Amino acid sequence: MAAPSLSATTAAGSGPARPAAASFVRDVATVYTREVTPSVRDPLGMLFTMGQPLLLLFFFGPLLGGVGAGGGAAGGSWQWFVPGVLVMLCLFGPMMAGYNLLVELLGGAMERMLVSPLNRTAMLIGRALKEFSVLLVQAVLIVLLAIPLGFELYPLGVLAGLLLLAVFGVGLGALSFLLAMVSAPSGELFYGVTQLAVFPLMLLSGVLLPMDFGPQWLQTVAAVNPVTHIAEAMRTLFAGSFTDPAIGWGALSAAAVAALGLTFGTRAMRRGVGV
């Protein structure tokens, strides 16, 4: 009698193989659940991080109408400022997400995950999605609080803007995780780069004040800052417009950040287990 084929033996012994897409989604869900559970159990910590954005919203936002932001009208200034606050939250949230990964690397918890069969890209996306989930809750709260102040809600534009912010946030989170892995075990590189990068990216993107007020050299530097294009796209979408070319530039910038972060972050994850 002929021996059973290898494929038949595998099928009989282990059952049908799961589709790669389903396995990837399962891995993302596993990592996401692991990461988001502590935040769900400690909602006060998430609300505490909103202290600075809320102060800006209530004490800085009303001043923008007098300096011409959003066309000078009170409603226009809020349409201009609220998206900028959300982009700022993204910079201080997903971009600093690597800190938790660095703590796990130093404590040895991450090593146990790296030797598991979890997909390396799924590890990055699951962690980044957790950061965006926190950002999403904060964004919804800020938008709701801004409506009584004069912010006009365009639901489809807000949804599109949050989708753009999700892509950008995933990329920033992946880059932050990459920086954490590169800087381990000391972590000095992570702290230095993030502190040096966050504020220039924020200030040179016009999230708080229009860059039109700056000198020409400052506007030139801002033009090559991807955060500038993402902030402009967010403002256009939050104003209910879908035809402005700024949306395309913002989407391209967010996609480029996401592609870079996931590509190099996944490679760093694989090198962590010797692949």
Residue 42 lies in a domain: no
Residue 14 lies in a domain: no
Residue 65 lies in a domain: no
Residue 2 lies in a domain: no
Q: What is the mean pLDDT of residues 17-44?
A: 80
Give the distance, in angstroms, between the CA of residue 225 and the centroid of all CA atoms in the same chain.
16
Total of domains in the chain:
1
pLDDT at 11 over 60: no
Q: Residue 79: give the domain boundaries.
A: 23-30+52-57+72-272
Q: What is the mean pLDDT of residues 77-84?
A: 87
Q: Which two tokens stand for residue 266?
A: 């996944």
Instruction: Give the pLDDT confidence score for residue 142 in this predicted structure.
Output: 87
Do 104 and 110 touch, CB atoms closer than 8 A? yes
* Helix 155-183 with 226-238: angle, nearest 10 deg: 160
Percent of residues, the chain, with pLDDT higher than 90:
18
> What does pLDDT average to over the chain?
79
**How many CB atoms within 10 Å of residue 153?**
14
DSSP state of 4: P
pLDDT at 92 over 90: no
pLDDT at 156 over 90: yes
Global pTM value: 0.78
What distance, in Å, lies between the first and last C-alpha atoms of the chain? Answer: 41
Residue 4 lies in a domain: no
